[in-house]
Amino acid sequence: MDRDAALSDFDAARAEWEAVFAQVPDAALSYLKPGDDYALGGLQVHVNWVLVHYSRVLDGVKADPHHELQPLDRPEESTAANKRAKAGLTAPERKPALEEMSALHRSVRESAAGIGEADWSLKTPVVYGEGQDPYPTSPDDILGWLREHYREHVHQCPELIASWREMS
């Protein structure tokens, strides 16, 4: 997908996520469906963490697209984010979490918008975790994964709301 279309769809995917997350009742924000890794409100925590992670990767790829990019996240960051996501949110935490997403989304968007068309599909070898092989990654890939990630939770969220209502 060309850069401008990818950026437009990135914004659309975020808007879809925000609309569906707005339907989550405050009382359901800490609901954890048995067997799930994230509470209903924790999906927002998880979305934010994924934006943090891929923002780092995008900035690294943008800074030096011709050299292998080493892992940028500390292992304990992912563990802490997953723990927060499992706990969910309280009603007063919802607005700050959404504001954080807005800032993170804007940062990714601005970084991506600054990448020229010639480099948009350029693959950089990215090592995502210690001991892993590099994975060829382009800015287009990153924006695609982020769009898909928003939309994955757009589909998941209503199912979790229904499950919470059944359990209530």
Tens-place pLDDT, residues 33-69: 999 999 999 999 999 999 999 999 999 999 999 999 9
pLDDT value, residue 149: 98
The overall average pLDDT reported for the chain is 97
Instruction: Measure the CA–CA gap between 81 and 117, rounded to whole angstroms.
Output: 33
Instruction: Measure the CA–CA gap between 139 and 142, rounded to whole angstroms.
Output: 5
* The pLDDT of residue 15 is above 90: yes
pLDDT value, residue 75: 84
- When pLDDT is cut at 50, 70 and 90, the band that residue 13 belongs to is very high
pTM: predicted TM-score of the whole model, two decimal places: 0.96
Give the fold, CATH level 3, of 3-167. Four Helix Bundle (Hemerythrin (Met), subunit A) (1.20.120)
- When pLDDT is cut at 50, 70 and 90, the band that residue 160 belongs to is very high
Phi, psi at 124, each rounded to 5°: -110, 135
pLDDT value, residue 82: 96
